[in-house]
């Protein structure tokens, strides 16, 4: 049943340590033992904060159950994206905290992602998990750039086409995937390559987000742009000559035949 709640947090009513239930009842049962302290419906994911009961009976798909008198706005189908976002937020927050930053989380209603501002580095980090039309990407990117010097987007699997747009404009774009409790960043280049690195291998500095392979991706983009420009200049020169016609430029023609032996 899609309405069944399969997500919870293990660190209190407003927790961010999210867990998803496995399909297998036995595995879910083991998870229950591992988190003996309890499960909550996180207010940070839009839930009610109440304690949840893990139902993992034989034969049935395991799920979390609210207390009998509980009323909650978060239903099973909305919970997935909300908790997925929470997981990204926790990993991103830990990575920034490890570098001594104090990130501020900004809610962007309906954006389908996460918007973190690091004022000390004049940076915004945007994790986009749901798909985003091209025009909306441009509008939001412009808006963020008016407020901070550096804006770094991380695109989840569903937001890949917005990533394509940024890749074409800037020569590098970052994909993001969850990996256990951490995040992997995919550094994409204009040749179609993606280099996956741990978020922990990346840094945020006053010059913006730095990831292994990003400089190479930008250099490739710059080389291709220069090649295109050169090709365009060549084509323009050819067109110009063709338009002027051969009579105006005798030197460009084959050398005139010499008179018969002088």
- Smallest gap from Cβ 5 to Zn ion, in A, equals 8
Strands of the sheet containing 39-40, edge to edge, are: 18-20, 7-9, 39-40, 51-55, 63-65
CA dihedral sign, ordered 130, 135, 138, 143: negative
16-24, 67-75, 154-162, 179-187 -> range binding Zn ion (CB under 5 A): 67-75
In terms of Cα–Cα distance, which of 129, 151, 155 is closest to 140? 151
Rounded to whole angstroms, how far apart are CA atoms 97 and 104? 11
- The runs of H, that is alpha helices, within 99-147 are 134-145
Contact call for residue 41 and Zn ion (CB under 5 A): yes
Binding status of residue 72 toward Zn ion by CB under 5 A: yes
Q: Which of 163, 213, 211, 167 is nearest to 190 (CA)?
A: 167
Q: How far apart are CA 10 and CA 8, in angstroms?
A: 7
Q: How far is the CB of 41 from Zn ion (least distance, A)?
A: 3
Residue 197 interacts with Zn ion (CB under 5 A): yes or no: no
For position 15 contacting Zn ion by CB under 5 A, the verdict is no
User: Given the complex with Zn ion, which of 75 and 230 has the nearer CB atom?
Assistant: 75
Q: How many residues comprise the chain? A: 262
Stretch that binds Zn ion, among 33-41, 79-87, 135-143, 208-216 (CB under 5 A): 33-41
53 binds Zn ion (CB under 5 A): no
Residue choice 48, 53, 148, 220 for contact with Zn ion (CB under 5 A): 48
Nearer to Zn ion, 50 or 194 (CB): 50
Among the candidate windows 37-45, 115-123, 138-146, 204-212, which touches Zn ion by CB under 5 A? 37-45
Segment contacting Zn ion (CB under 5 A): 68-76, 95-103, 130-138, 210-218?
68-76
Nearer to Zn ion, 13 or 160 (CB): 13
Nearest to 148 by CA among 115, 170, 185, 183: 115
**Which residues in this chain contact Zn ion in the complex, by CB under 5 A?**
41, 47-48, 72
């Amino acid at each position: 049943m899609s309405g069944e709640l399969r997500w919870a947090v293990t660190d209190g009513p407003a927790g961010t340590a999210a867990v998803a239930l496995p399909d297998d009842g036995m595995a879910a049962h083991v998870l229950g033992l591992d988190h003996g302290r309890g499960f909550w419906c996180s207010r940070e994911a839009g839930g009610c904060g109440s304690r949840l009961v893990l139902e993992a009976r034989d034969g049935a798909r395991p799920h979390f159950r609210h207390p009998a008198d509980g009323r909650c706005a978060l239903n099973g189908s909305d919970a997935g994206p909300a908790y997925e976002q929470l997981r990204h937020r926790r990993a991103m927050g830990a990575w920034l905290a490890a570098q001594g930053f104090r990130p501020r989380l900004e809610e962007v209603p309906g954006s389908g992602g996460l918007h973190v501002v690091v004022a000390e580095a004049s940076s915004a980090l945007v994790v986009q998990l749901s798909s985003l039309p091209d025009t909306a990407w441009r509008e939001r990117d412009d808006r963020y750039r008016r407020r901070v010097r550096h804006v770094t987007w991380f695109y989840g699997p569903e937001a890949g086409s917005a990533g394509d747009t940024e890749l074409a404009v800037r020569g590098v774009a970052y994909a993001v995937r969850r990996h256990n409790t951490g995040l992997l960043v995919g550094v994409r280049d204009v040749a179609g390559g993606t280099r996956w690195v741990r978020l922990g291998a990346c840094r945020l500095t006053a010059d913006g987000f730095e990831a292994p392979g990003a400089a190479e991706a930008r250099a490739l983009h710059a080389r291709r742009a220069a090649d295109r420009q050169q090709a365009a200049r060549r084509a323009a020169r050819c067109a110009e000559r063709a338009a002027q016609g051969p009579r105006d430029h005798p030197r460009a023609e084959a050398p005139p035949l010499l008179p018969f032996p002088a």
